[in-house]
Amino acid sequence: MDDLTFEQQVLGRFAPRVAYPATPELGARVLAAIAEGTPSRSRPALPRRRALVLASAIALAVAIVVALAVPRSRGAIADLFGVQGSKIEILPTPAGGMTPTPFPTPADIQWIATPTSRDGARSAAGFDPALPPGQGAPLGVYLVDYARLPVVVVQYMHFDLWESRTVGFFVKGVPEGVAVHDRTVNGLPATWIGEGEHIVRFVDSSGREVAASVRTVDRGTLIWSAGGTFYRLETDLTEEEAVSIAESLP
């Protein structure tokens, strides 16, 4: 991904979400300075398109700094970034008279993953998947391959426990009206997404969405990261029961 594409994605994704007090008009001043300045011999002038993006990025950076000083804005930015290994986006409500595009039908783990054993998962993923005590033997252990980035899924009667140490992150697209709020798991930041359909997709370290990673989840989901491992617990249990299971992991 080139710098311009990355900067455009950053600006397009974050600018509409940032609420901040009125600030001086910086973009025009920066552009004027760039247009009037004479390039030095030691530093060539930036191409005009890159200069425009750079000026916008500077203005956005200032806006984010100001926003972090406002408690309400801090909360919105925290919701956007999510916990380590995960990002959450609140999907916009369709304009009046428009019918929202339906989500894909939720698929059982057997349709999107390959059955394996705990030893097989350990060998493929490079770590020993954690099993919650007191839950009995899992119904199955699976591997999901996201462009050669393995994710382990341990399935129980009432929940699927996803475990990952891949370089990338999961993006959740959550419709307005589905509950999303902060929790903690053993004192570490966590996020709970309540019941209601939401979209999950996997994005690699270069910002590219992994093909065929998009799926619909219609159960409550607890998300957290601990000891270098990212976890997501998809369940039909209550929020408190999900947190209790998460906090029992070794």
One pLDDT digit (tens) per residue for the chain, 250 residues: 444 444 444 445 444 444 444 555 555 665 565 556 545 444 445 455 554 444 444 444 444 443 334 443 334 434 444 577 778 887 776 666 665 666 767 778 888 899 999 999 999 999 999 999 999 999 999 999 988 889 999 999 999 999 999 888 889 889 888 999 999 999 999 999 998 889 899 998 888 898 888 899 999 999 999 999 999 999 999 999 999 999 999 9
Walk across the sheet containing 159-164 and list its strands.
114-116, 140-145, 150-155, 159-164, 229-235, 220-226, 188-193, 180-185
* Residue 213, number of CB atoms within 10 A of its CB: 21
Do 246 and 226 touch, CB atoms closer than 8 A?
Answer: no
Long-range CB contact pairs, 104-107, < 8 A, 24+: 104/214, 104/215, 104/216, 105/216, 106/197, 106/215, 106/216, 106/217, 106/218, 107/215, 107/216
188-224 pLDDT, tens digit per residue, is 999 999 988 898 999 988 888 988 888 999 999 999 9
Taking the alpha carbons at both ends of the chain, their separation in whole angstroms is 38
Residue 41 has which token pair? 């011999």
The CA distance from 196 to 218, in Å, is 5
Do 130 and 165 touch, CB atoms closer than 8 A?
Answer: no
The CA distance from 25 to 98, in Å, is 36
- pTM reported for the whole predicted model: 0.64
